[in-house]
Amino acid sequence: MSSSMNNDDLLLGKATQYVSNYDQSLLFPIARSANRARLNLPVNKAKGERPFFGEDVWTGYELSWLNLKGKPQVAIAEFLIPADSTNIVESKSFKLYLNSFNNTRIASSEEVTRLLLQDLSAGFGAQIEVKLCAVDAFPLAQAELGDNIDELDIEVHDFAPNAALLKVSDHVVSQTLNSHLLKSNCPVTSQPDWATLVVQYTGSEIDPAALLKYIISYRNHDDFHEHCVEQIFCDLCQVGDFSELIVSARYTRRGGLDINPTRSLKPLVAGNRVGRLARQ
């Protein structure tokens, strides 16, 4: 699959014929490299090391296919994409690809999983993970997010990303902060993307009011979910000295998909992941 981005080829914002028979060619990859070339990456890049670790967790709430007798089957799918994959996949193309299973007869859920692994690993340019879950067995919302900063009484003037708003002190703390006020816009359609941002860290104490102003500064920003989280992570790295830093965003679903990027100074472990939230 080609990973070059041409706006004329993007499906977002265009009238689209929905295909309901399996078609892996619907996936549209976009290379991560162009966005990362614009970031202030963490200093360990100079040592030839990976600038950050992380993953993008997509949840597919509308996956369905037919069994060999023509009876519809449904499942909720979780897709885990490593942050070092070559590409992201444009979200509308992902939705169209999943819709292409709707009238396709497939012998088992294991075969569905195999096809998803095969096609999406090729599209993202890395080996991904796929987990199918019965609707009744899907885990409920998780609420352990640390301290919410949304009630701070602040005055806001910036509605475009402004890293200069961030402030830290020399005091070293271990802390988790969250805000439900992150909003950005789709770079193609300008549709709003809403998210909860969670910052887990050990290091320079982050000024919560300054962090909230910075989060709100994304309100009119046009960019993909993954790019926003990487920019937030890199801006924090530039202003503070952290031994641990994990930035996660849980975005609300649109068209049956949510996208949830996490970036970290260290390899992620199971306990670092922020689970599904109420708005998802």
DSSP 139-165: --------EE-TT--------S--GGG
Is residue 238 in some structural domain? yes
Domain span at residue 259 reads: 147-272
| Active-site residue identified among 56, 158, 170, 186 | 186
CATH number of the domain enclosing 206: 3.30.1130.10
- Does residue 85 share a domain with residue 124? yes
Per the residue annotation, which of 56, 119, 193, 235 is the catalytic one?
Answer: 193
Q: Check whether residue 129 and residue 165 sit in a common domain.
A: no
Residue 6 included in any domain: no
Instruction: Tell me, yes or no, whether 158 and 263 share the same domain.
Output: yes
Instruction: Find out whether 93 and 85 touch, Cβ atoms under 8 Å.
Output: no
66-89 pLDDT, tens digit each: 999 999 999 999 999 999 999 999
> Considering 119, 137, 155, which residue would you say is the last residue of a domain?
137
60 and 169 in one domain? no
Q: Among the three residues 84, 106, 137, which one is the final residue of a domain in this structure?
A: 137
Per-residue pLDDT, averaged over 24-53, amounts to: 83
> Which one-letter amino acid corresponds to residue 74?
V
**Are the C-beta atoms of residues 59 and 133 closer than 8 Å to each other?**
no
Q: Is 9 a catalytic residue?
A: no
Residue 4 pLDDT: 44
The pLDDT, as a whole number, for residue 63 is: 97
DSSP code for 254: B
Structure confidence by residue, pLDDT tens digits, 113-126: 999 999 999 999 99
Tens digits of per-residue pLDDT, 149-202? 999 999 999 999 999 999 999 999 999 999 999 999 999 888 999 999 999 999
Tell me whether residue 133 is one of the annotated catalytic residues: no
pLDDT band at 9 (very low <50, low <70, confident <90, very high): low
Q: Mean pLDDT of all residues in the chain?
A: 91
Question: Based on the domain organization, do 30 and 122 belong to the same domain?
Answer: yes
Please state the domain count of the chain. Answer: 2
**Residues 127 and 33: beta-carbon distance below 8 Å:** no
